Each structure stands twice: as structure tokens, then as C-alpha cells.
Amino acid sequence: MLPVVSHEARTYRWPYATVTLIGINVLAFVFELSVGVRFVPFLQEWGLVPARVNAEVTAHNVLTLATAMFLHVGWIHLIGNMWFLFVFGDAVEDAFGWRWFLAIYLLSGFFANIAFMVGTSGSSVPAIGASGAIAGVMGASLVLWPAARLKIPTIFLIAFVLYLCYDLLVAVGMPSIVLGGPIIFIVSMLGTVVWYAVGRQRKTGQGFVFALFTMIALPAWVVLGLFFATNLWSGALSVVSPAYGGAVGWWAHIGGFVAGACLAMIFPKHPIVLKKRAVLG
């Protein structure tokens, strides 16, 4: 997912539910750290393990459908998820109100875990993290404001596009001698970044480093559409080759995103707030 900095949607109420969810996730991670050497067994016990749930439906196994949504494997995992919840959550909560927003979040997380179980039914790798539920919030945001502009740092956008091109060439079977392994990706990324930054520097007079981190505004349907498409592509590849993508929950992201988008169409919204909201486009 591209590192979105802002969704440009003005909110009118304090996002109590969003802030509370972030706090719960942080506290849950602190508790995980407190178990010390039992950290990995703890995640295995309370994360959602498809093979375990499919083998035996017990109260504990069913409960992991909920507990898995509040666990994370590290600080980067936690901070990344909470950032996207912060960026998209406040506006979606403002549009639906905290009760319906919580319903979207929790139900998206539930259906995300169901999708993960279906897509990787025999996996013993646990589904861990709030990304499925947050994908649901992003799906709801796309339904509400498909034309909203999302701000993204230039350097990350360049890296992302080049990575997609490289990944696509590998997927279609381009000979490795032509691609030159990951070296071509690194060289082309650095070359493109330097070319852009120098051109931007000459045009605006900005510093080289500053030019790299200037913001590009893209429509939400492009950014979130790419998020969904890349997850669908990777999810399909993971079915063909279970080793593909490691422990990334592609199907959880897909299930959560679709659930959030569908719920956003059904749940009641605040029409006055939506009408007055300023979305820059």
C-alpha cells in the first residue's frame, strides 16, 4: 500500500472510536511484549490459524477470529496499521457516527479473517493484525469519496510503480538474464528518483532532498484501486503457490476491503455532514 499522508477530508467531530481503537491495539501490543519469551507461542495461540480452526471448531478457535484483529508482530507492523487507521478512520467515523463506524471496523475484520481462512484453509501460519479491519475502513472511504485526493510522497510513488513493473515482468516469465535480478529495479529506481528530483529542483528552485518528498495528489480510486488489485493479484498467486508472499494476509485484505465497501453502501450515513464536507479534488 502506498504511504498515504492525507485524504483531504475535513471532519467535524472528534474521532472517539478511531482513537480508542488505536489505543486498544497499542495496549494489546504492549501486553504481547510483556509475555517475554512466550511472545511467539502467544501469537500462535491467539492468532487465527486456518488449519486449526478448520480441524476443530472450539470456543477458543472461534474466539481467535476476534483476538487476531488486535495483535501485531512488531512495532513497524503496528505503526503502519495504526497510521492508515488514523488517516482514513476519522473521516469515515465522522460520516457514519462512532457506532456504525465500529460496526464497519469489527465486521470488516471478521469477514477479513473468514476470507483468510477460505483462501489459505490448510495454512498453519496465523493471521495477525488489524489490516483486514482497516482495509474495510479504506473500502468504506472509497465508496464515500472515490474522487478525493490522497497525498503521497513522490519518492514512494516512484518506488512503488517501478516495483509493480518489475514484479509484472517476473510474473509473465521475463528471463532473468534480461531483468538482471533485483539490480535493475534498484538502478532504475535510483535513476528515476534522481531524474525527477533534478527536474523538480530546476523548475521550482527547491532543494534536491525536498523535491523527493514533495507530495503528489492522486484520486482515491487510483490509490485504493491499486491496493485492491495488487492484493487480488498476490492472493491469486498465493493460491497457485502457497509459498508466495510469505506471511502476508492477502485474502484478509481483500475480504476486509470488500466487506467495508458493501457495508458503507448499506449503513446509514449523516447526509448533512457529507454534504458540507470539503474534499479537495
Q: Which amino acid is at 231?
A: N
pLDDT bracket for residue 260 (50, 70, 90): very high
**Among 185, 226, 181, 209, CA closest to 3:** 226
pLDDT in tens, 7-18: 666 677 788 999
In the chain, DSSP finds a helix count (H) and a strand count (E) of: 14, 2
More confident residue, 240 or 80: 80
CB 81 within 8 A of CB 131: yes
pLDDT number for residue 280 = 40
Strand partners, 9: 279
Local structure of 180: helix, strand or coil: coil
- Rounded Cα gap, residues 59 and 113, in angstroms: 16
What is the rounded (10 degree) CA torsion for 45, 50, 55, 57?
Answer: 70
CA–chain centroid gap for 151, Å, is 16
Q: Which three cell numbers stand for residue 8?
A: 483531504
Answer yes or no: are the C-beta atoms of 268 and 137 closer than 8 Å: no
pTM of the model: 0.81
Q: Would you list the domain boundaries of the chain?
A: 16-152+218-276
The separation between the first and the last C-alpha atoms of the chain, rounded to the nearest angstrom, is 21
Q: Where are any strands of DSSP class E within 99-208?
A: 149-153
32: left (phi over 0), alpha (psi -120 to 50) or beta: alpha
Class of domain 16-152+218-276: mainly alpha
d(CA 173, CA 167) in angstroms, rounded, equals 10
Annotate 205-235 with b (16+ C-beta within 10 A) or e (fewer).
eeeeeebbeeeeebebeebbebbbebbbebb
Q: What is the pLDDT of residues 225-247, one digit of tens each?
A: 888 988 888 777 777 666 555 56
DSSP state of 126: P
Question: Which set of grid coordinates corresponds to residue 32?
Answer: 504481547
Sign of CA dihedral 253, 117, 122, 49: positive
Convert the pLDDT of each residue in 100-124 to its tens digit.
999 999 999 999 999 988 877 777 8
Q: What are the grid coordinates assigned to 61, written together?
A: 478457535
Q: Look over the chain and give the mean of its residue pLDDT values, rounded to a whole number.
A: 80
